[in-house]
């Protein structure tokens, strides 16, 4: 079997081997360097937990922040508002100890995150509420009455 390599006019190497079952070294390197590297840097190396993703929706009456954080309890969260900055954080600790005849094995795990958001002036901070259901933390940020969208209306010409 011959290993032919064609060199296009742009100077890059192209593999003409059509056997797709065996990845080439360049394909492996491309896979490594084209991954989502920021998620690697945000990960907690003890547990593999990454910074949770957040969806923010705006309706006529409110903003809704949804965060996927399965495996936690609502008592694990701290939600604070300070000077129009909303912060959501959690810190959990897990300890596991197994004792055998000739050994004691102890494992400790810690995970935490903190996300902060600058709230617009249109949010009524007195009526913010949060719920946690089936791994989704939802925070309702109602708008002030003057910031709510008003319905469309017709204007008569006089």
Rounded mean pLDDT, 111-124 = 90
Q: How confident is the model at residue 40 (pLDDT cuts 50, 70, 90)?
A: very low
Rounded mean pLDDT, 117-126 = 91
What pLDDT is stored for residue 41 in this prediction? 45
Which strands sit side by side in the sheet containing 62-68, from one edge to the other?
Answer: 54-58, 62-68, 136-142, 129-133
Decide if 113 contacts 49 (C-beta within 8 A). yes
pTM of the entire predicted model = 0.58
CA distances from 68 to 40, 46, 59, 64, 139 (A): 18, 20, 20, 13, 12
Q: In 10 A of CB 123, how many CB atoms?
A: 19
Weakest-pLDDT range from 13-22, 52-61, 82-91? 13-22
Is residue 112 pLDDT above 90, yes or no? Answer: no
* Domains of the chain, first to last: 46-147 (2.60.40.790)
How far apart CA 116 and CA 136 sit, in angstroms, is: 17
pLDDT tens figures, 134-156: 999 999 999 998 877 778 889 89
Displacement of CA 78 from its chain's centroid (Å): 17
Closest residue by Cα to residue 39 from 27, 31, 54, 49: 49
Rounded mean pLDDT, 91-118 = 82
């Amino acid at each position: 079997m011959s290993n032919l390599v064609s060199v296009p006019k742009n100077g890059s190497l192209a593999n003409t081997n059509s056997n797709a079952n065996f990845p080439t070294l360049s394909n492996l390197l491309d896979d490594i360097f084209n991954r989502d590297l920021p998620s690697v840097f945000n990960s907690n190396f003890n547990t593999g937990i990454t910074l949770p993703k957040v969806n923010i929706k705006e309706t006529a009456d409110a903003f809704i922040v949804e965060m996927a954080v399965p495996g936690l309890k609502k008592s694990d969260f701290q939600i604070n508002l300070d000077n129009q900055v909303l912060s959501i954080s959690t810190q959990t600790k897990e300890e596991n100890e197994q004792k055998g005849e000739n050994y004691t094995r102890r494992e400790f795990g810690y995970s935490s995150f903190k996300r902060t958001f600058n709230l617009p002036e249109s949010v009524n901070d007195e009526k913010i509420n949060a719920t946690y259901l089936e791994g989704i933390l939802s925070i309702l940020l109602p708008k002030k009455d003057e910031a709510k969208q008003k319905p469309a209306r017709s204007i008569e010409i006089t």
